[in-house]
Structure 1
Amino acid sequence: MFLFRSDDCMVIILIYVDDILVTSNKESYLQDLLLQLQSRFAIKDLGDLHYFLSLEVSRTSEGLHLCQTKYISDLLQRTSLLDTKPVTTPMASGPTLSIHDGTPLLDGSEYRSTVGALQYCTLTRPDIAFAVNKLCQFMQSPTDLHWLAVKRLLRYLKGTPHFGLHFSRSSDFSLQCFTDADWASCPDDRRSTSGFCIFLGDNLVSWSSSKQKVVSRSSTEAEYRSIANGTAELTWLESILHDLGVVEKISDKDKNI
């Protein structure tokens, strides 16, 4: 990502291989940049953003909606679950999955490929972050029960393909971070799982669900580690907002944890 700023204008360029997104708070600057690029390179202007790296962008009167409907459909087609019956939750409430559950798969390549694809889904689907994180813990030696859990998650996506993120226009630049943690939830190593989500105003901009690096000796310790993770992400986001010229609008009272 490249950022160009002047006193009254900002241009952001996001480049991934041969795909480029360009945005600016001034249309004249945006057009001038495109003309300069076209004078040096053979580029094609595809107009307003609608589809980028499997992310679908829809504009409404209230803001932007990001989803991955086609990507999910292609994933269901690849796993022969396009006509499966949907479920209402991404994961069973219990019992907790373990590395010792079930019979090891003869070939775990499909499991690893599918879970890797599900990781990309979490770009717009924070509701499956916990389930995907759990399934990633069995990449080395997946079993038939782990594969059933993957299929359940795919069935959940089958029923919710249009779910995604909605970003609305707002003058509220306050940062709010919500964290949580369980305690010793993993039956294999007794490590806890941390989770956080961060809002910029009313818009969700960052989230995570991950197993903690060490064993917490109490629920209080697990919660503190989760708060530390959320605070680190909050600090990083504030530095990005500083580069974008937004941090001046954020006061200490607007940063809540």
Structure 2
Amino acid sequence: MAFGKKLAKDDGNALSDPQHYRSIVGPLQYLYHTRPNISYSINKVAQYMQNLIDSHWVVVKRILRYLRGTLDYGLMFTSGKMMNLIACTDTDWGSDVDDRRSTSSHCVLLRPNIISWSSKKQKSISRSTVEVKYRSLADTASEIIYGYSPCY
């Protein structure tokens, strides 16, 4: 997505062929399982499947152009000497202009390899950036604790 671009449900003209939009965005949702760099953008355009306008289509075309130019990109797994588990998290307070909910994202790395990532809206509206960051950290911590614990 373009830097600083905010999508809204009423920010343009309705699309004449919404089925075409859905037929492209649907498969893109499966693609972001192997391309974490586009997960945020695909997440945003998928939120507007019911109320499609031309500015959403412009963003989808931009994602497709980016994918065409980065066909050789992908996940690379390498070995490392240390067994380090590293987690990074980021938030965007009140980023959705329609419902004012925040977006949280995280990635978890084992050695130098990414093993988990997520970008999603928070379930409730937060009153401050501290609250948004706390929720994101709590979600990331539970992902690490419960997602990677050995089963006995």
What is the TM-score with the length of structure 2 in the denominator? 0.93
CA offset digits 1:145-201 (Å, max 9, x no partner)? 101110001001111011110111234322211111011011111111000000011
Which deviates more, 193-202 or 163-172?
163-172
2:46 corresponding residue in structure 1:
136
Alignment of 1:196 onto 2:89: no
What are structure 1's unaligned runs of at least 5 residues?
A: 1-90, 246-257
Alignment of 1:238 onto 2:144: no
Instruction: Give the counterpart of 2:92 among 182, 187, 205.
Output: 182
Post-superposition shift, 1:106?
2.9
Q: Tell whether the 8 Å contact from 1:172 to 1:200 is kept in structure 2 after alignment.
A: no
Alignment of 1:113 onto 2:23: yes
The answer to which structure, 1 or 2, has the higher relative contact order (CA under 8 A, 6+ apart) is 2
> Alignment partner of 1:120: what SS?
helix
Within-5 A mapping of 1:133-172: 133-172=43-82
Q: Tell whether the 8 Å contact from 2:108 to 2:114 is kept in structure 1 after alignment.
A: yes
- What CA distance in whole angstroms lies between the structure 2 residues aligned with 1:156 and 1:205? 23
2:137 maps to a residue whose letter is I
CA offset digits 1:54-88 (Å, max 9, x no partner)? xxxxxxxxxxxxxxxxxxxxxxxxxxxxxxxxxxx
Relative distance call for 1:232 and 1:113 in structure 2 (3 A) is farther
1:64 corresponding residue in structure 2:
none
> Alignment partner of 1:164: what SS?
coil
Instruction: Give the counterpart of 2:116 among 206, 214, 217.
Output: 206
What is the TM-score with the length of structure 1 in the denominator? 0.56
- What CA distance in whole angstroms lies between the structure 1 residues aligned with 2:122 and 2:146? 19
> Rg larger in 1 or in 2?
1
Instruction: Give the counterpart of 1:124 among 8, 20, 34.
Output: 34
Q: Per residue, is there more strand in 1 or in 2?
A: 1
- What CA distance in whole angstroms lies between the structure 1 residues aligned with 2:124 and 2:80? 39
CA offset digits 1:3-52 (Å, max 9, x no partner)? xxxxxxxxxxxxxxxxxxxxxxxxxxxxxxxxxxxxxxxxxxxxxxxxxx
> Alignment partner of 1:156: what SS?
helix
What are structure 2's unaligned runs of at least 5 residues?
A: none
Q: Tell whether the 8 Å contact from 2:79 to 2:111 is kept in structure 1 after alignment.
A: no
> Alignment partner of 1:224: what SS?
helix
CA RMSD, aligned part only? 1.5
Same amino acid, percent of matched pairs: 48
> Alignment partner of 1:170: what SS?
coil
How many aligned positions are there? 152
2:136 corresponding residue in structure 1:
226
Structure 1 segments of 4+ aligned residues over 6 angstroms from their partners? none
